[in-house]
Structure 1
Amino acid sequence: MIIGKHRNTQAIIDLDAIKVNIQNEIKQLKQAQSLFAVVKADAYGHGLLPVAEAAKKAGAKGFCVAVIDEALALRQAGFDDEILVLGVNPASTAVLMAQNKITCTVGDYDFLIKAQLLLKEAKQKLLVHIALDTGMGRIGFKTKAELKQVLMFMQNYPQQFEFDGIFTHFASADSEDETYYLQQLTKFNELLSVITKKPRYIHVANSAASLWHRKCGGNMIRFGIAMYGLNPNSKINTPFELKPALSLVSELAAVKKVTKGEAIGYGSTYRAKEDEWIGTVPIGYADGWLRRMQGFKVLVDGHYCEIVGRVCMDQMMIRLPKRYDLETRVTLIGEDHGNEVTAQDVADYAQTIHYEITCGLAPRVTRLYKSK
């Protein structure tokens, strides 16, 4: 079903910005390092397939996704690069991943036991990246004994498993306090010491680590949020300029003049302070524009306009400086006449992070792509 094509509420994705961000990161890499583009969650809301294509053109050597379906979507679209599923999955999916040459994250010994039998029966070999829990507390092995057990098991079944990589994930690589990051890095290196024959990929660096901790090691970078031009920590300068790829725009669907004291929206939470021009914009919390955005500002003709009344499911109202024509553009994220609203501004107002803002944009918000 095609949705959103007849509603001018759009996320405009600048694929050239994504390419520039990747190319600038690649310039910082050591010769032996590869960049994998993290395109999970529909490329952080930017669109899986167009972003993956742009990333590959920019020099990405592989992809990281969160779930098997994302990897299958890339395969079905013709991508033959290595695809690592960062999340763990039940053993029943091992054969499917092997058949589609999807690299599997393993963080549980029982998975290997069950998967080995299924892979043997199907005559398939599975590419494996071992996850180590060094302090994230999410997935992965925590001790040398566990890791040795896993390595021995895979060595005993070379027809079913290929040890292709090992990794961990930092919980606070974007923090100005490096204490916990360094603890995790030390733990990772301690666990790594039990491996006699290193796999093809050893990786620890997410966007934050790749930007601010270039000496963390590894020969693969998992380039995520920074690829989309968003700073993992807006309080710390990045070593090169990040170019935001996403703008969010809509239009004025209705414009009316209200008199002083008139109420706007559900619950009558706003009353006009004077005679005012009110514009209705076709975007709401069902599109991912959060209900809590009441009181925030958007741009119309370069003017900051306050969101008045509660954000509805499909619409919201804004206070205009004057009467504007219907279909006048409204910019929720992006630049307009020299002024700007960033995804970070939206996140700060919503008391969240910009990851959640872009990932939360609903499918009915049309994605439009531009590239030279």
Structure 2
Amino acid sequence: MENIQCFRPTKAVIDLQAIRDNVVHLKNMLQPEVQIIAVVKANAYGHGDIEVARTAMEAGATILAVATPDEAVHMREYFPQVGILVLGATPISFVPYAAANDIMLAVFSQEWVEQAAKQNIDRSLKLHIKIDTGMGRIGVSTRDELQQLYDAITAASHMLVDGVFTHFATADEEDTKYFDKQVKMFKDFLQLLPKKPRLVHVANTATSLIKDASLQFDAVRYGISMYGLAPSPYVETILPFPLRPAFSLQTELVYVKKIKAGQSVGYGATYTAEEDCYVGTLPIGYADGMIRKLCGQNVLVDGKFAPIIGRICMDQCMILLPTAYNIGEKVTLIGTQQGVTISIDDWAGKLETINYEVPCIITNRVPRIYSN
């Protein structure tokens, strides 16, 4: 494990032991022989793909899932022997590389297969048929489409139906009506295949954690909860084991000044002090992913809440301090300080979004520092 030298005090600290624990706990509740597909797309949800992938594999994952061909290439450079699955659409130009480097591709178009068959490949291209059972993104959605796609793959030389999968739209919700409809459709479609592929996988994180074990099939795709976050507030109430968040965001005070009542702070002078107070400047801004809508969000200084005031700048933001502090005082934006916690879910609430989005928007300008 390598940590880059970091001069700027702003950094994301990734607890690899938390990720390890989250994988082990899932593995312990799976049926024997069920594989874990560690979802490390989008730079492992902003946590750092290589270190997270390595940790997940050490903890029991056997396959890595990404979203794009470029992510697959990056993974293959570091993991030459590990199964890699691209979950999203893939251009025809990537087919020779995928075949030569044993990268599994999602497929959902007969036309794509026919074009891919014209590529110069001399090794089996492993394809996973995506069935759209109700998500409405990619995937075949009729019996005829499935049959035509399957026939096109089996008719092509050097192509193999290695897997079949779907994605559930409401697995993290209490109402199971739509989920049950998707399950039934997938099982019906699965029966249409002349031969069961090597890997059948339908269970996303929520399905893996709270649904019937029969839906584990051959593998489960472990995403958001590998990072210690619940897929939804409902799932959080019925988790089978405690999750350990892996992501924290830290910085420190680079400037502290006392301002008088009536003085304003930041672009547009949107904050005006009602009384004399201390203002601290933090070296993090919207270019780091701390977008302007986070104005008013608390950070932690000396275990105490301190709100962000004024407009967040590109590289800096200001906070209202409870008292004067020295330059270099540690500040926690996400994480725990002196027993007080600000969570990713807190940020998600402020941003009116889901917890998935928060670590993903912290840009690569913020170095990831790894701890065990």
Distance 2:176 2:334 in 1: 32
Task: List alignment gaps of at least 5 residues for structure 1.
Answer: none
Equivalent residue runs for 1:261-280 within 5 Å = 261-280=262-281
Distance 1:4 1:348 in 2: 33
Task: List alignment gaps of at least 5 residues for structure 2.
Answer: none
Q: 1:193 aligns with which of 183, 191, 194?
A: 191
Equivalent residue runs for 1:60-75 within 5 Å = 60-75=61-76
| Alpha-carbon contact 2:12-2:367 (below 8 Å) kept | yes
| Alpha-carbon contact 1:3-1:364 (below 8 Å) kept | no
Does 2:9 align with 1:8? Answer: yes
| Alpha-carbon contact 2:108-2:149 (below 8 Å) kept | no
Letter aligned with residue 344 of structure 1: D
Counterpart of 1:152 in 2: which secondary structure?
helix
Deviation (angstroms), 1:78: 3.3
TM-superposition CA deviations, 1:33-89 (whole Å, max 9, x none): 110100000000000100011001000011000011111111111341110000011
Letter aligned with residue 191 of structure 2: S
Does 2:42 align with 1:44? Answer: no
Aligned to 2:330: 329
Aligned to 1:300: 301
| Alpha-carbon contact 1:4-1:365 (below 8 Å) kept | no
Letter aligned with residue 281 of structure 1: L
| Alpha-carbon contact 2:143-2:189 (below 8 Å) kept | yes
Deviation (angstroms), 1:245: 0.3
Distance 1:354 1:288 in 2: 14
Deviation (angstroms), 1:196: 2.3
Counterpart of 1:325 in 2: which secondary structure?
coil
Of 71-80 and 311-320, more deviation after overlay is shown by 71-80
Aligned to 1:218: 217
Given the two structures, how large is their TM-score scaled by the length of structure 1?
A: 0.96
Deviation (angstroms), 1:4: 8.4
Distance 2:109 2:4 in 1: 40
Aligned to 1:112: 113
List structure 1 segments (4+ residues) > 3 angstroms apart after TM superposition: none
Equivalent residue runs for 1:12-161 within 5 Å = 12-118=13-119, 121-157=120-156, 159-161=157-159
Letter aligned with residue 221 of structure 2: R
| Alpha-carbon contact 1:4-1:364 (below 8 Å) kept | no
Counterpart of 1:96 in 2: which secondary structure?
helix
Deviation (angstroms), 1:217: 4.1
Equivalent residue runs for 1:292-371 within 5 Å = 292-371=293-372
Letter aligned with residue 329 of structure 1: K
CA-atom RMSD, angstroms?
1.3
Letter aligned with residue 220 of structure 2: I
| Alpha-carbon contact 1:277-1:320 (below 8 Å) kept | yes
Distance 1:79 1:357 in 2: 30
Deviation (angstroms), 1:358: 0.4
